[in-house]
A = this chain, B = another copy of it.
């Protein structure tokens, strides 16, 4: 029986700490959320983030511009000294506008790592806020007291929102990271040989029993719709759980920590500004 690494206690502990930090600030920490269109996933994330932020004492200002006015909204946010952080729900419908928006946002307000400066900071290993979900993996591992230094970690997936940044965050903590992806040849072998697996590939139940080994910690970042119509992760939980030492559930695992990390970044941004 593996330890189940739930996200809720991590989010609660963070929320408690952030609530007292917010109360000590001389300003009302404020997050702008920019959403283009009415994608249900975006709306659901916006709702969750708003709830979490308001609980902590962070004001949320919502912007829902037409694609043509995204850039002017970001300019407005940059100039508004009462806004400390800005989350743009991505992907935007237009890739070119998304690219321009990413470069336009003031780096000090970039709480989800969309600007070059933030990405470079994650790569270099200094300053800047990492993408919230990548940081959420680290917060969860830390909360459950899982040592990272000197541990071998297989990161499966190389997206810019999870795989790549979490690899750099783990390296910064002195883990030895193997960056795996769709072209990796002996993936199950690499996964079995590692101390920690971070699964972030977006394939339902992909990581089965042949990928895991006793003693391992498995962090499942995937959120997929299973063939039974239920949410599931990238890890086949039923197969992996009896074998490994600890595993995050989906839902209620890493995903539950993400909005708390977003709030953390907003508080930190407000402290710095």
Question: Which residues in A have some Cβ–Cβ distance to B below 8 Å?
Answer: 116-117, 119-124, 149-152, 158, 160, 164, 167-168, 171, 174, 176-181, 183-186, 190
Say yes or no: A186-B119 contact (C-beta < 8 A), given A160-B124, A176-B180, A181-B171.
Answer: no
Which of B119, B160, B179 is A167 in contact with, Cβ under 8 Å? B179
Q: Tell me whether chain A's interface is mostly helix, strand or loop, or mixed.
A: mixed
Q: In the bound complex, what is the Cα–Cα distance between A178 and B184 (angstroms)?
A: 12
Q: In the bound complex, what is the Cα–Cα distance between A117 and B123 (angstroms)?
A: 11
Q: A117-B120, A119-B124 are in contact. List 7 more A-B contacts (CB 8 A).
A: A116-B120, A120-B123, A149-B183, A150-B184, A150-B185, A176-B190, A179-B179
CB-based nearest B residue for A184: B176
**A66 CB, min distance to chain B CBs, angstroms:** 27
List, sorted by A's number, 30 A–B pairs whose CB atoms are closer than 8 Å. Answer: A116-B116, A116-B120, A116-B121, A117-B120, A119-B119, A119-B120, A120-B123, A122-B123, A123-B123, A123-B164, A150-B184, A150-B185, A151-B185, A152-B185, A152-B186, A152-B190, A158-B171, A167-B179, A171-B179, A171-B181, A174-B181, A174-B183, A176-B179, A176-B180, A176-B183, A176-B185, A176-B190, A177-B178, A178-B178, A179-B179
Q: In the bound complex, what is the Cα–Cα distance between A117 and B184 (angstroms)?
A: 29
Residues on the B chain within 8 Å of A152, using CB:
185-186, 190
Residues on the B chain within 8 Å of A124, using CB:
119, 160
**A217 CB, min distance to chain B CBs, angstroms:** 16
Which of B117, B149, B150 is A116 in contact with, Cβ under 8 Å? B117
Residues on the B chain within 8 Å of A177, using CB:
178-179
**A106 CB, min distance to chain B CBs, angstroms:** 14
CB-based nearest B residue for A119: B120
Q: In the bound complex, what is the Cα–Cα distance between A171 and B164 (angstroms)?
A: 10
